[in-house]
Every structure is written in structure tokens, then in C-alpha cells.
Structure 1
Amino acid sequence: MEQQTVHLFVFNTLSDWEPMYAVVAINNPAFQQQPGRYEVKTVGIDREPVRTTGGLTILPDMALDELDPTRSAMLILPGGSGWGEGSHKQAIDKAREFLAHGVPVAAICGATAGLALAGMLDDRPHTGNWLGELEATGYRGSAHFQSQPAITDGDLITAGGTSPLEFAYQIAKKLELYNNQVREAWYGLYKTNDAKYFFELQSLMA
């Protein structure tokens, strides 16, 4: 089995907590259908270190201009400052390239505003933090906005910033990380903290 790479866009002010359920699920082989099938690598505007909202310093594995969608399993765009003002246009352009090649893109929080600003949500179901934030970008997709924590439309996943677990759920489903029973038990455990889901996971893996 050839290992595939999921790429996480990193930048100054990145909202640390938003992609982390997904990153851990992808990198941790526990409960996966094909353990080790994926790895996560970080990609920045360049290879210079970035500092997250939580104060962590991340050294990107690669720069955006090195990123080839045909050699990636998914591009994850987390929230942070500047998306709605066009500060991360290079990442949005790369997301457009990914979708054109049929490679999934997952955007959460402010990153959905970046997609909206670029006109990429005008004609497809999507969600985000709230409709007003997307409308402030001048986009024309309000009729397609769904007030849901996270949704998938084809190769595009969108989520609000307070829904990192639901975001990870949609990513796990798209990447087929877990079988259906394991995925539902995994989600149930982290969503409810009910021990029955922990024992269900253990039982499923026995």
C-alpha cells in the first residue's frame, strides 16, 4: 500500500484547535481500516515558520508552489485571520486547482469566507460560521447555505469554527479512514463522552 499525503495549510494566526481532531485521526492508525494509509504534512505560503493563535510555532514541510494536487489526498484549510479579506489568495487558488483535479478540499471557519470571496460557494451547498460572514464577502451563494455544523458536497467539505469534531467526521468519512461502525462510535465517544462508545470501539477492534 502506497502511503498518501493529506496537506494542511498553515499560516500566522491559524486556529490550532480547528483541524486537530482530523489531523490526529489521520495520523493515528488506531481503529483505521488501513492503518498508515495516510500521513499529514504541513504546507505554508513559503517554508518560513508560522505562529498559530495558540502560540505554537510550525515549520512548514513545503511551500504552496511545491504542492501538486495529483500527489495529494486532500487539502485542509483551517480558520484564522484574513480569509474574508483575501489574505490567503494563494491557498484559495490552490484549493480551486485541487477541486478541478477532483481532489478533496476541507475548509473550516474563516477559510469558508475565503472560498466565498473567490466565488467558489456561489453554486453549491455549503456551511460556515454564519451566513452574514459569508455575505460580507459579496458572495452570491446564500441560497445554498445550510445551517449545519459541517457538510460535504462532492469533493468540498465546509464547517463552522465551533464544529471541529464534525469537520473531522466529514474528513474521516471522505477519506474512508474507518468503517461505518467504528466512525460512528468514534464520533459518539468524543461528542458525548459516554463510556459505552469507548467499549463499543474496543469491541469492534477485538
Structure 2
Amino acid sequence: MKYAYVYVLDTMADWELGFVTAELNSGQYFKNRGSRLPVRTVGASKRPITTKGGLTIVPELTVDEITYETSAILLLPGADNWKDPTNGPIIEKAKQLLNVGGYVAAICGATLALADAGLLDERQHTSNSLEYLNLFSPSYKGAARYKNEKVVVDGNLITTGSAGALELAREVIALLDLFAEETLEAWYNYFTSSDPKYFYAMMETLQESNS
């Protein structure tokens, strides 16, 4: 069984992984109808954490329980306290996964944690801004590979800034090949435009896949 692992930590930005976790865990628009990609929460320990929105999450797993064989993707949310040393093991796990071809997606403050660990020095990436990385990560040496784009995919790593929740979801879904191409395009267009024609178009793609 493969899982989408979500690292949870105090002050995590609730909304930043909302789109992607809902679609992965529900499987509602998957091209393989009836399937899903279960989401499991991972913590530095199994101590409850409190999100920025005030929600309490009790991690199901600890970092050492993540394996390459069971990881479909590791999702790293933004948070205010990524600098806390207790988060070091998950960044080391991200490094291990990336080195063996595993998928990792990071948004907002999580990109800063990757920068601190040198994981962006040799990979194309984005974040909240180049200035953000330079200011808050003295060890960062990846400026030449920074892209001023909303989301960047470099092989098995996806990065985006705090405003890229929807784009992150789109790229994760595409990377894992979970939606039909036409479904994903209509899904993204609906959430970016709110035009109902795209919702109906998405429903049509699902009907076509079942016929």
C-alpha cells in the first residue's frame, strides 16, 4: 500500500495542503474509479500539534516509519517554526527520498527548510520569493536555480510559495498520474475561474472514462 504522507507540525498552515489532501484521500476524480491514495499524518513524535487555524492533529506515524516502498509522496506544509531542530529528521527523510527517486512536495516555509539543508542548491525551485530564501536561509546557495514562477517541478521535487496551494495540488496529481489529463485541466480551470462550465466539463470527462 502506498500513502501520501503529510508532515504535521505546530503552526502549520492548514489551508496550504487542503486541495491536494482532499483529492488524494477521496479519489473522487481519479481516472481509476473507486481507487484513492490514503493520506497519513506524520509528526516528529505522536504528540498532538496545533495548526495555525487552531486545529489539533494527532500524528498517526513518526518520521522513522516512512519508507520509500510505502511513500507515494511526502507533503511538507508551511509553518512558522520550521527552524525548530525537532523538524530535522523529516528534512533528512525528504533528502533520502529525493536521492532514491521518491517524490516530495514543499510549500511556503517548507521550502525554507529544504534550502537550509542544501536540498535546493542543485535543483530548480521556487518559494515565496528569492529574497525570502536569501534573507532567512544564510546557508542557501541555490539562487542561480531559483525560478520566479508560481510552482516549479524539477524531477521528483515540487516547490511553491504560500499562494500556490492549487498549483501544488495540480502538479502532485499530474506527477502521480492520478487524473485523466482532461479531468485535471477542467478541475484546475474550475477552481481558478469559478466558471461552472469547467465543473460540467470535468464531470463529462469522468463519464467518458467510465464508458
**TM-score, with normalisation over the residues of structure 1?**
0.95
Residue 19 of structure 1: SS of its match in structure 2? Answer: helix
- For the structure 1 residues 122 and 85, does the alpha-carbon distance in structure 2 shift closer, same or farther, using more than 3 Å as the test? farther
Residue segments in structure 1 that go unaligned for 5+ positions in a row: none
Amino acid at match of 1:47: K
4+ residue runs over 3 A deviation: 84-87
Instruction: Name the CA distance, whole Å, in 2 between partners of 1:171 and 1:205.
Output: 19
Amino acid at match of 2:26: N
Instruction: Name the CA distance, whole Å, in 1 between partners of 2:185 and 2:191.
Output: 10
Give the match for residue 191 of structure 2: 190
Size of the aligned set, in residue pairs, is 204
Residue 15 of structure 2: SS of its match in structure 1? Answer: coil
Instruction: Name the CA distance, whole Å, in 2 between partners of 1:87 and 1:142.
Output: 27
Retained in 1: the 8 A contact 2:43–2:59? yes
Deviations 1:103-144 (A, max 9, x none): 100000000000001111111110001111111212111111
Instruction: Name the CA distance, whole Å, in 2 between partners of 1:193 and 1:200.
Output: 13
1:23 aligns with 2:21: yes
**C-alpha displacement of 1:9:** 0.2
Instruction: Name the CA distance, whole Å, in 1 between partners of 2:48 and 2:169.
Output: 25
Instruction: Name the CA distance, whole Å, in 1 between partners of 2:83 and 2:132.
Output: 8
Amino acid at match of 1:89: G
Deviates more, 1:15-24 or 1:75-84: 75-84
Retained in 2: the 8 A contact 1:14–1:79? yes
Instruction: Name the CA distance, whole Å, in 2 between partners of 1:55 and 1:82.
Output: 15
Retained in 1: the 8 A contact 2:31–2:206? no
**C-alpha displacement of 1:87:** 5.6
Retained in 1: the 8 A contact 2:23–2:29? no
Give the match for residue 178 of structure 1: 179
1:9 aligns with 2:10: no
Instruction: Name the CA distance, whole Å, in 2 between partners of 1:176 and 1:131.
Output: 30
**TM-score, with normalisation over the residues of structure 2?**
0.93
Give the match for residue 162 of structure 2: 161
Give the match for residue 75 of structure 2: 76
Deviations 1:132-191 (A, max 9, x none): 111121211111111111111000000101110001111111111101100000000111
Retained in 1: the 8 A contact 2:42–2:63? yes
Give the match for residue 205 of structure 2: 204
**C-alpha displacement of 1:66:** 1.8
Instruction: Name the CA distance, whole Å, in 2 between partners of 1:180 and 1:97.
Output: 30
Residue segments in structure 2 that go unaligned for 5+ positions in a row: none
Alignment of 1:118-137 (within 5 A): 118-136=117-135, 137=137
Deviates more, 1:31-40 or 1:179-188: 31-40
Instruction: Name the CA distance, whole Å, in 2 between partners of 1:7 and 1:146.
Output: 26
Root-mean-square deviation (CA, aligned residues, Å) is 1.3
Deviations 1:18-61 (A, max 9, x none): 01100001012222012424110000001111110000000111
Give the match for residue 97 of structure 2: 98
- For the structure 1 residues 45 and 84, does the alpha-carbon distance in structure 2 shift closer, same or farther, using more than 3 Å as the test? closer
Q: Identity, % of aligned pairs?
A: 37
Deviates more, 1:187-196 or 1:61-70: 61-70
Amino acid at match of 1:94: K
